[in-house]
Each structure stands twice: as C-alpha cells, then as structure tokens.
Amino acid sequence: MTAAAPALAGLVRRLESIGPLTAAEREAVADLPAAIRTLPPRCPIVREGERPGQCCVVLQGWLCRSNVLGSGKRQIHSLHIAGDMPDLQSLHLPVMDHNLDTLTPALVAAIPHEALRELLASYPGVAAVLWRGTLIDAAMVRQWMVCLGRRAALEHTGHLLCEMYLRQQAAGLAAGFRCPLPITQSDLGDALGLSTVHVNRVLQSLRAMGLITLQNGTLRIHDWERLVALSEFDPTYLHREDAPV
Amino acid sequence: MTAAAPALAGLVRRLESIGPLTAAEREAVADLPAAIRTLPPRCPIVREGERPGQCCVVLQGWLCRSNVLGSGKRQIHSLHIAGDMPDLQSLHLPVMDHNLDTLTPALVAAIPHEALRELLASYPGVAAVLWRGTLIDAAMVRQWMVCLGRRAALEHTGHLLCEMYLRQQAAGLAAGFRCPLPITQSDLGDALGLSTVHVNRVLQSLRAMGLITLQNGTLRIHDWERLVALSEFDPTYLHREDAPV
DNA sequence: CGGTGCGTTGACATTTATCAAACGCGGTGG
DNA sequence: CCACCGCGTTTGATAAATGTCAACGCACCG
C-alpha cells in the first residue's frame, strides 16, 4: 500500500513550485502513504455525488475533471498532468460536484484524507501552499471560462495549447516548443466547448497558418509569438513566480 | 478607519454558513479593522495586474469579477452579493489576474492583508473556513463554465437565475421565489457569454413560458420546479449543508 | 482479414451575433 | 410644467460562427 520513497517526488516538486517548503515539510509530504494504481484510458476515478475518502496525485498520464449533462454533452473544466492533485477539494467539500477521469493510461497515487489532515495540522506551511495551489487551480478555470464565453474557436484553441505547453514545461515534461498532447480531438472539443468536427477544422486552420502541428499525440508550436498574439495569451493567471517561456 | 462593530456581522454570518467558528473566532473576525467605502455603480475596485494590499467584503450591493479582452469583450466570472469576499485570493496570489468592479451602488469594507494574515495565524479554524470558502467559489465558477460551454442560452440563463436566487436566499436577502436582480441585461450578457440582444430575447422567452418575470430589478420565479428542470439545476455545487429551497 | 476508433471532409441546419432603429421612462434644466 | 436627454430595453433584418449528420479513409489490433 505505502509507496516507495520516490513516488511522491513529483508532488514535492510541484508544491515547491507553488510555494516554499521547509526540509521537514518536504519530507512529511514525501512520506505520505500513497496507494499507487495503474489505470487505463477513459477510466472513471471519482463520480459526481460520491464522497471519496482520499485524494489522488497524478504520477503519469492525463486526467480531466468534467460534468456531463442530461443530453450527454460533456464539459471538461480542467486537464491534469503529472504533479497535479485534481481532487484536493474533496478534503474540504465532501460531496463531489464533478467527475474525475483518466484521458490516457495513467499512474495515480491515492492519499487517504486522514493522512492529509494530519499533515496539514502538523505543518501549517504545507496547508498554505496547498491553499495557494487550489487558488491557482481556480484562476486557471476562470481563464478557461473567459475563453469559452468570449473568444472565438481559433483563439480559444490557441490559448489552450499555450497553457498546456507552459504547464508541461513547468513540470519538466516539455521543452523546445514541443510537448505531448495525448488526447483525442473529441476530448479537446469537450474541453473547448466545441464539436469534434469544428476542433478538427480549427486545428487545420492553425496548422495552415504555420503556427502549430499536432501529430501522434505531439504538439509542436512553430511560432510561439504569433500563437500568443493570436490567442491574447497572458500567463499571469498561471501565477508562476519564475518567468515562463 | 476601523468600523463600528456591526459592519462585519454579515461576514461572520457568511463564514458560519461555510463552516463552524468558535466564539473567539467569531469575535476575532468581527473585530477585524475595516475601512468602509460607498461606491457608485460600475466602479472599479481592483484591476488586473495590480497588487492590492487589502481584501474587500461586500456589505451591500452587487460586485463582479471579470476579464476584458483586447476586442473590448468582457466575461464576468462571478457575481458577488453581501457577505462575499470576492478578492480573498489576493492574500495568496499577489498579482490580480482579473478585475473587480461594482455593478450597482455598493458598500464595501476593506480589510488589510496584514490583519487577515495575523487572524489566520492565530486562528487556524478561520483559515480552514476561508479555504473552504474559496473552494466553494471555485466550484461555482466551474459550474458556470459548464453552462457557458455546453448549455443553450435558455437553460444557461435559467441556471444563473436559480443560482442567484438560492445564494441570496441563503444570505437572507430573498424569500418567496422573489429576489433582487439589480443588473442590466448587458451585464447579464457579459455573465452569460451572450449578446445583450440575445439576453433580452431569452428573458422574454422565459417569461412567455410562465417561468419568471423580471421587472425593476426584481426577479420573480413563478415556477421553480419547471425552471429547475429546464436548466437541469442541481444545487450540489453550492455545497450548502442545509437543504436549499 | 475484418473490426473499431479516430481523423477528415462535405452539405446543410441552427444558434447566436451584429447592426440599426425605435421606444419608454426617469431626471433635469429651461 | 414641459421638452429634452440618457440609459436601458425592445424589435427587425441580416450575417457569421458553429453544430449536426453522414460518409469515408486510414491505422492499429485481434
């Protein structure tokens, strides 16, 4: 059940990118009990309405949070990569108001709420960092919302690509304007609030403009400056202390 | 500068609706130093890019958080009523990534960050409640986003009306399926991601269905059940412990 | 070798935006 | 007291963006 030491190294790294930890705090986080699971793609982790007793940490692969409407339409509100804790909110809000699923094959660690609560009680510094983390998460959702409500499909898609590149770069998963984007156009549509067909056309259009290519789950950004300009992408909302790009 | 005792009573009430406070915590919150200001409608409070040194509490009136794009289009991500602390995040994320404005004439209290930090350090229970509050706030934004991305204008608008009624009811500002809705159709459009013209048509359509009327800044919901059904409104995301409605 | 899932394309339908104008109403100054 | 003005609402005509439906190709896999 309890993981070997290096399993939560990615989490420690992520938290330190959000705020400072003391050596004792680092160690306490790394020593959290974590049950590691390998999951297939499109696999439910937690469902709306449930009351989970643990939080999960992404070790590998992509996860998403979403809601599904009666019509079957799905809106993804966030994409999660290694280092993220997508359902940390369940620690304070017992009933899930959305779903958490894998998009790709994934490796996740489950940490019992109880262990987290003990950690937070003993190390208020960790609590502060996690709080800050949930605020950044919320800021990303708000920005996503602005794109959904007020940007055209082209700009919106470009904005998402910029965000996912920068986030992966910060996590050490990308460099050189090249990063994994291992999800289908249909999932992308659920994230962007667009139909699959339209996503396809928008991507082609971005490619025709010489801005990106997207092949075999790899995104290549050929002209970062123009893509940023087109999407009016301003990384402030990621609240990174170091300078992005 | 420092407010008379009852000024922050609404804040205490709101926090207690989010989580339990001890008598000492209640008192400490009520004793926070607060500079009260009266503001006109459409008045900026904090701008994107700024580093505010205080958080504001709404005492009266409506505020909104928004981003404005280069094209001049505005997306409102949340509406705030008495008891809300719309910019609490500035305590942990120094640079604002959005704007905070009044929509109506408003009374707001400004609380210095320093005083809040001292409060949180002395009363971890208050910190926990505020954290939970920011998580609920994030949950509302996510739901708003689902509406924006995947619901048609009619359902979306209905959903917003349901939310604003319930939130005001919880704050003791509404009852009997009647509540203030003191904002223009143009602001409503910026919240819903729709044009003013379309908002107008949607509202007429909701009225024609016998679901609501909206006159002189007052919303009347004539058929709560049907409005909830139409909008697939599920109040889980408000995370109220008492049963709504 | 035949599925199955994903990407692509075309034709067409629908929703929503945009533009322009008129209306109503409360406030204000002559 | 009345005319005018500004703001918000309402209406109609038209345009643009995006969705839906249907079909096809292509690669991977059993």
For C10, nearest residue by CA–C1' is: A197
Residue B13, CB, less than 7 Å from strand C? Answer: no
Question: pLDDT averaged over chain B?
Answer: 96
A102 beta partners: A63
How much is the pLDDT for A4? 47
pLDDT digits (tens, 9 = 90+) for B173-207: 999 999 999 999 999 999 999 999 999 999 999 99
DSSP, residue by residue, A158-175: HHHHHHHHHHHHHTTS-B
Residues 132-191 of A, Cβ under 7 A from nucleic strand C: 184-186
Tokens matching residue B34: 């607060």
The integer distance in angstroms from the CA atom of A153 to the C1' atom of D13 is: 26
> What is the band of B29 on the pLDDT scale with cuts at 50, 70, 90?
very high
Contact between A12 and A29 under an 8 Å Cβ cutoff? The reply is yes
Mean pLDDT, rounded, of chain A = 96
Average pLDDT over residues A191-220: 98
Q: How confident is the model at residue A173 (pLDDT cuts 50, 70, 90)?
A: very high
Nearest to A227 by CA among A165, A170, A167, A150: A165
Secondary structure letter of residue A6 according to DSSP: G
pLDDT in tens, A17-57: 999 999 999 999 999 999 999 999 999 999 999 999 999 99
> What's residue A1's pLDDT?
44
Q: Give the pLDDT band (50/70/90) at residue A244.
A: confident
Residue type (1 letter), A35? A
Does position A2 have pLDDT exceeding 80, yes or no?
no
Q: Is the pLDDT of residue B237 over 90?
A: yes
Nearest nucleotide by C1' position to the A202 CA atom = D18
Span B86-144, pLDDT tens digits: 999 999 999 999 999 999 999 999 999 999 999 999 999 999 999 999 999 999 999 99
Structural domains of chain B, ranges and CATH numbers in brackets: 5-140 (2.60.120.10), 152-238 (1.10.10.10)
Say yes or no to pLDDT of A241 above 90: no
pLDDT for position A245: 81
Q: Are A93 and B239 in contact (CB under 8 A)?
A: yes
Is residue A144 within 8 A of residue A155, CB to CB? The reply is: no
pLDDT of residue B69: 98
- Find which of A55, A116, A135 to mutate to test the B interface (most B CBs within 10 Å of its CB): A135
Q: State the average pLDDT over residues A177-190.
A: 98
pLDDT at A3: 43
Inter-chain residue contact B193 with A236, CB threshold 8 Å: no
- Note the pLDDT of residue A243: 77
SS3 content of chain B, % helix, strand, coil (to 5): 45, 20, 35
Question: What pLDDT is stored for residue B90 in this prediction?
Answer: 98
pLDDT digits (tens, 9 = 90+) for A108-121: 999 999 999 999 99
Q: In angstroms, how far is C9 C1' from A140 CA?
A: 34
SS (H, E, C) A11-71: HHHHHHHHCCCCHHHHHHHHCCCCEEEEECCCCEEECCCCCCCEEEEEEECCEEEEEECCC
Task: Provide the 10 A C-beta neighbour count for residue A73.
Answer: 14
A93 with B136: Cβ contact below 8 A: yes
pLDDT computed for residue B3 by the predictor: 44
* Least reliable range by pLDDT among A115-119, B4-8, B100-104, B149-153: B4-8
Mutate to test the interface with B, among A68, A150, A188 (most CBs of B within 10 A): A150
Contact A135 B134 (CB under 8 A): yes
Nucleotides of C under 7 A from a protein CB: 5-11, 15-20
